[in-house]
Amino acid sequence: MPLSTQSQADDEQYALVASMDNARNLSNILKAITFKDHAIFSATPNGLKVTVEDSKCLQANAFIQAEIFQEFTIKEDLVGFQVNLTVLLDCLNIFGGSTVPGASTALRMCYRGYGYPLTLFLEEGGVVTVCKINTQEPEEPIDFEFCSNNVTNKVILLSESLKEAFSELDMTSEVLQITMSPSQPYFRLSTFGNSGNAHYDYPKDSEMMELFRCTKTQTNSYKMSLLKPSTKALALSCKVSVRTDVRGFLSLQYLVRNDDGQICFVEYYCCPDEEVEEE
């Protein structure tokens, strides 16, 4: 692979080096969280975490484990920086991003450290492109303090069934209301639009419901504009876990299989729109 002809000595200067034979394994998952220009990159020996936030109410994270990369070398315990995600995606797709079988863009991502740009070496068909993207001081991602102990309700659904519901959601509704309950209607998505309201009910014994663990009846509303971007993650995923905690915060976790069948995760955290009387 041409990119690996770079001398070992060069690598000494980089805090982070990550290589991938198929850049699409990174670009596809990043597309699932691109609703804002800027993303916070946090790399640890476990892998790469990319975070995008919106108005302090929504946070999306994409996790790409170290094992997904052909090479993942990190000098410190945590390497963090912020880049323009749109620019990064444009670079990753610099060879056109077409899905011609056999042709894929190889990626080598290098970061020297604080103050240095993020360097991308991209190769396809013997042609190498070098991109240097300016980095910024990483902001501290919000800690939504979502912990398993406080989870009141959890379901895991096959994405197929949710995709249809999300594609039909009434966009004139300001909120998406999610009801989870140990009794009827079990799991319900509701919208309140100009022409009326709509409810999508998933029974707990449906073949689409892989896991159903609801302890308490809860109804929470979330701004539709905040949740809309999550449909990109839903489209890529095969399974999704929906959890709410005692405060009504929502956690959506998507299991995504990449081109090579490897598993990555995308998660969305969202604050409730308003306090709804719990039934």
C-alpha to C-alpha distance for 172 and 188, rounded to whole angstroms: 18
Q: Does 216 bind another protein (CB under 8 A)?
A: no
C-alpha to C-alpha distance for 188 and 203, rounded to whole angstroms: 9
Minimum CB distance to another protein, residue 165 (Å): 8
Residue 94 or 208 having the CB closest to another protein: 208
Residue 95 tokens read as 């060879």
Residue 119 or 241 having the CB closest to another protein: 241
Residue 198 or 235 having the CB closest to another protein: 198
Residue 99 or 194 having the CB closest to another protein: 194
Angle at 26 between CA 167 and CA 94, to 5 degrees: 100
Strand order in the sheet with 175-180: 187-192, 175-180, 218-223
Minimum CB distance to another protein, residue 179 (Å): 13
Minimum CB distance to another protein, residue 231 (Å): 15
Asked if 39 and 82 touch (Cβ cutoff 8 Å), the reply is: yes
Minimum CB distance to another protein, residue 270 (Å): 23
Residue 235 parent element (H or E)? helix 230-236
Q: Which residues have C-beta within 8 Å of that of residue 229, sequence separation ≥ 6? A: 33, 34, 35, 54, 58, 60
Distances (CA, A) of 117 to 88, 111, 200, 232, 262: 12, 7, 47, 28, 29
Asked if 60 and 266 touch (Cβ cutoff 8 Å), the reply is: yes
φ and ψ at residue 258, rounded to 5 degrees: -85, -175
Residue 7 or 195 having the CB closest to another protein: 195
Contact map string, positions 176 to 215, toward another protein, x by CB under 8 A? ---------x--------xxxxxxxxxx-xxxx-------
Minimum CB distance to another protein, residue 4 (Å): 47
Minimum CB distance to another protein, residue 263 (Å): 24
Instruction: Name which of residues 150 to 179 contact another protein (CB under 8 A).
Output: 161, 164-165, 167-168, 170
Residue 35 or 200 having the CB closest to another protein: 200
Contact map string, positions 62 to 101, toward another protein, x by CB under 8 A? ----------------------------------------
Question: Interface with another protein by CB under 8 A: which residues?
Answer: 161, 164-165, 167-168, 170, 185, 194-203, 205-208
